[in-house]
Structure 1
Amino acid sequence: MDGTKIKNMEEFAALSGISRPTISKYFNDPDSVRPKTRERIEEALERYDYRPNIFAINQNRKMTKNIGIVVPYLADPFFGEIARNIEQRCIDAGYRPTLFSSHGERDLEIDILDSLRSLKPAGVLLAPLGRASDRSKIEDFCNEVPTVLFDSNIDGVGEAFVGSDNFSFVSQSVDYLMDSGEPPVFFEMRNPANPNANKRRAAYIQKMESMGQTPHVLKIEGEGWAFEEIGRQGAFEVLDGKALPSDTILCSNDRLAIGFLAACYERGIRVGRAEGCAMRVASHDDHPFSKFTCPALTTVAHDYDSVAGHSVETLFSLIENGGKFRARTETLYPARFILRASA
């Protein structure tokens, strides 16, 4: 034994050099991991004299291996991709994930949480609707079931949140657009469905003012999650009304930008950074379809793997700690700029 005092499974994973999901999978069923990996874990257990707090692991899940995953709109490939990533990580750790979509509806989100209670899950990974959510209902659920929020934060609710740094998104896009052409105009919904949009608008205003520029925010009408059509109709309004103070448009998210590109095509406006183009369009998210638009969309990408991986790791730690942390944690991952043909 090396004498190091280990408090929890997360510290054991860091010291042993073995991933947290693999260790969790071993404690659920030692035969479920490969023999060489099992041998490494058992050698580390002997070396550090570590045994997990099985009571803390099981007291909230009541011996089930169920994990709930809730997203606001599964028809959106962004949520499909991150849910797939999370689901696979849970399976690899020996859990049984169940995926739910609230389809942008508050009442359905509440019904899903009620259904999850009956499954007695070990824990839940929840991407809430945000502005449309019933805060009190989600807060009550988080107090009853170990829950980690991801993608969309509700300040002060739950034990942890994992998501992307919206200032990082906007800072990178504005820097590039300012360096390469006219100052960008921010294009968004008047009543955005996702609270990340509000953070991006605030970041745009802050960034533009810090550069001595006047921010211009174009708010378009539209409710719900049909962002492409909302973006298309909103683009028609600003293009036909000649309401653009710049030839550079920065959309709040890629799905709005896809609609904007469609409107430009229908109006015969050439978009891109090549000679002869009349407008530049950029956005945020690196939606799975953004590389296939015409022209391909310049955007800023989520770190899908880190957000998914840390969300799962945080949930496992929360389960191990009996469903409570000493203090609420928030983890934000920086974005990555992707230059394509649209700007």
Structure 2
Amino acid sequence: MIAVSNKIKNMEEFARVSGISRPTVSKYFNEPESVRPSTRARIEEALARYDYRPNVYAMNQNRRLTKNVGIIVPYLADPFFAEIARNIEDACIARGYTPMLHSSHGDPAMEVEILESLRSLKPAGVLLAPIGRRSDRKAVAAFAKHVPTMLFDSNLEGIGAGFVGSDNFQSVPMIVDYLCRTGEAPCFMEMPPVNPNANKRRMAYVGAMERLGKEPQVISLPGDGWNFEEVGFREGRRILGDGGFPSSNVLCSNDRLAIGLLAAAYEAGIKVGHGAGCSMRIAGHDDHPFARYTCPSLTTVSQDYDSISQRSVDSLFALVEGGGKATSRPEILFEGRLVMRDSA
């Protein structure tokens, strides 16, 4: 008999000291509601008495399907990804699953390493916001073939995984139309093409301008990293110093670029907005968590964080519950909402 004061090392010891069979204890940890209420009460009393918590990862190795869900974002330091990851975590927890959050730090090798590590833990499924252009498509496709996978934020088409995100071809024309109706036709400050959203937003801008009978003016920026604020500030300062933008309205392909450009305009002594004394308007896309706190506050397009998060989780669990055998991988797009603030 093991003394009460001893530390319980594993589930076998816990079953022995609590007087409950090992299969029943295991059944409880897999699904508490599957155990009779009287037995469940005995197990929970023993848990409190012995202060025992099972090794979840060891348990997972003996299961065909675990209650873990992997969540991978390209840059967790970005509050945009932190916010959407938080929403996804909450949705997973509400479904009785344990989320495991990872950041690939914009590194394709790390993205693959995280996928390989998750696969060894036998997750129920994975929600992946891929790096994008530099992702190892072959490795991601191979992973999605064996583990139920849903992509969010940016899509890697043709790899056999579903996608939930924003409809760039609805949101970008909406803000282009607004800027054209309320001022000079905007030029487009394009983020470095690190993921498919960059190209889609440029294409959406060009198409919207042409439909309005306007000449598209795309300003492509150098770089292949995720330091968008730095790029927006550095290149904005350079362009302003070289004579300025081709339009007094500048639409940035994401809010982080716009935040950098706002700082460059401030440094150059340019007043941004649509009031008296303003000579430049700046708008962005995404409704970044910091967008409302810039000076002036940033006009942008809001992505539907809540719906994207919830639908990503719902779609993943539909795939999980179907044994990963879904015949189609849906692409689900949500419309953006124009958020008019002081910058434009």
Q: 2:186 aligns with which of 184, 187, 202?
A: 184
Give the TM-score normalised by the residue count of structure 2: 0.82
Match of 2:269, as an amino acid? G
More deviation in 241-250 or 105-114? 241-250
Residue 105 of structure 2 is matched in structure 1 by 103
Residue 127 of structure 1 is matched in structure 2 by 129
Residue 323 of structure 1 is matched in structure 2 by 324
Match of 1:226, as an amino acid? N
- Structure with greater contact order relative to length (CA < 8 Å, sep ≥ 6): 1
- Secondary structure of the residue that 2:70 maps to in structure 1? strand
Within-5 A mapping of 1:255-270: 255-270=256-271
Q: Does 1:342 align with 2:311?
A: no
Residue 53 of structure 1 is matched in structure 2 by none
Shift of 1:324: 2.3
Within-5 A mapping of 1:170-249: 170-189=172-191, 191-249=192-250
Are the counterparts in 2 of residues 28 and 94 from structure 1 also a CA contact under 8 Å?
no
Within-5 A mapping of 1:1-343: 29-30=32-33, 62-189=64-191, 191-343=192-344
Residues 244-264 of structure 1, C-alpha deviations (whole Å, 9 max, x = no match): 221000000000000000000
Match of 1:172, as an amino acid? M
Q: Distance in 2 between matches of 1:100 and 1:118?
A: 15
**Is the alpha carbon distance of 1:28 and 1:315 closer, same or farther for their aligned partners in structure 2, counting shifts above 3 Å?**
farther
Shift of 1:157: 1.6
Shift of 1:194: 2.2
Q: Distance in 1 between matches of 2:257 and 2:225?
A: 12
Q: Distance in 2 between matches of 1:291 and 1:158?
A: 37
**Is the alpha carbon distance of 1:226 and 1:135 closer, same or farther for their aligned partners in structure 2, counting shifts above 3 Å?**
same
Which stretches of structure 1, 4 residues or more, deviate above 3 A after TM superposition?
A: 27-31
Residues 129-175 of structure 1, C-alpha deviations (whole Å, 9 max, x = no match): 01010000000000010101111100122331111001122111101
- Equivalenced residue count is 289
Match of 2:131, as an amino acid? L
Match of 2:324, as an amino acid? G
Are the counterparts in 2 of residues 299 and 338 from structure 1 also a CA contact under 8 Å?
yes
Q: Distance in 2 between matches of 1:249 and 1:239?
A: 12
Flag structure 1 segments of 5+ consecutive residues without an equivalent: 1-26, 32-57
Shift of 1:28: 5.1
Provide the identity percentage: 58
RMSD of aligned alpha carbons: 1.6
Residue 44 of structure 1 is matched in structure 2 by none
Q: Distance in 1 between matches of 2:273 and 2:33?
A: 55
Q: Distance in 2 between matches of 1:103 and 1:134?
A: 14
Larger radius of gyration: 2
